[in-house]
Amino acid sequence: MALEVGAVKVGRVALDGTKIKANASKHKAMSYGRMEEKQQQLKEEVKQLLEQAEAADEEEDRRHGKQRGDELPEELRRRETRLAKIKVAKKVVEQRAREKAAAEGKSAAEAKQAKPEEKDQYNFTDPESRIMKGADGFVQGYHAQAAVEPEMWLIVGQSVTEASNDKKQLEPMVEAIEEQSGQRPEEVLADNGYCSEENLAYLESAEHPESKVEGFIATGKQKHGEHRLPCKPGPLPKDATRVDRMKGKLQTKVGKAIYAARKCIVEPVSGRSNRHVVFANFCYAEKKR
């Protein structure tokens, strides 16, 4: 509403991500390697049960004559149901591997042949969720993203993703801010989780100068007291990367002052959301909801 009436101008925003628990237990997840083992085990068990059932049917037919005999024993039905679920799960994990390979720029032929890693997970309760490392250890959940403006601490852009880190979220979040607030941000403040050559190139928008966003992105975790050190004198080398230039930018007085405001803008909002009574037991059930 504040955006609609023009009370807020989206100039500078700060980004942050936080893990939220899914409405699913991490104990209902299975790795791809475990799926293959379990699939083989269940196939062997089904085979044995069918052989036992066939032998039992023959014995009953011998004693009592032929009857209907097409009812599946409960043990067999349960295993076949489990086997079908694992088969579906494997297909989903394999498709994710192909999509990941395509997103990494591999050829169509290479992407088609891509295989999952043994540790790749699938959750049978909420397949879209992932096991992620959060503040309190590993959780089955999602990664929520928020962009906050500094004047009224309003969230001007948000998204939920199954990606476990922030590396691929800077570009989608800038686009989300523009779509959800109707304004493209002028400056973006973010921690080192969002830093990469690709992300910094996107902010520069060399081919579309009108879309440029001024970035203040940390390039790494600072050692204690490092932020007090002065900027190194002299120009950067000609072959300096975008990350090198960003590091130098944040070592200037202006860069330090602007970036220092990030924690005061976005982290109080994330902190309140995580501790608020409404969110304390909040469970996200499927991303689309």
Closest CA to 189 of 98, 276, 260, 286: 260
For residue range 63-121, list pLDDT tens digits in order. Answer: 655 555 555 578 788 888 999 999 999 999 999 999 989 988 889 999 999 999 999 99
Alpha-carbon distance of 259 to 253, in angstroms, equals 10
Q: Count of residues for the chain? A: 289
Instruction: Quote the pLDDT of residue 277.
Output: 38
Which of 55-64, 189-198, 207-216, 223-232 has the highest average model confidence (pLDDT)?
189-198
Instruction: Quote the pLDDT of residue 278.
Output: 41
Whether 44 shows a pLDDT value over 50: the answer reads yes
For residue range 221-276, list pLDDT tens digits in order. Answer: 766 565 566 666 667 788 899 999 999 999 899 999 999 999 899 888 776 555 54
For residue range 139-178, list pLDDT tens digits in order. Answer: 898 999 999 999 888 899 999 998 888 999 999 999 999 9
Computed over every residue of the chain, the mean pLDDT equals 83
Helix (H, G, I), strand (E, B) or coil at 16: strand
pTM of the complete model beyond 0.85? no
Enter the tokens of residue 181. 């607030």
Helix (H, G, I), strand (E, B) or coil at 109: helix
In this prediction, residues 18-25 reach a mean pLDDT of 87
Helix (H, G, I), strand (E, B) or coil at 90: helix
Consecutive H or E run containing 141 = strand 137-148
DSSP code for 116? -
Alpha helices in 108-191 (DSSP H): 108-113, 170-181
Domain positions in the chain: 12-25+128-280, 26-123
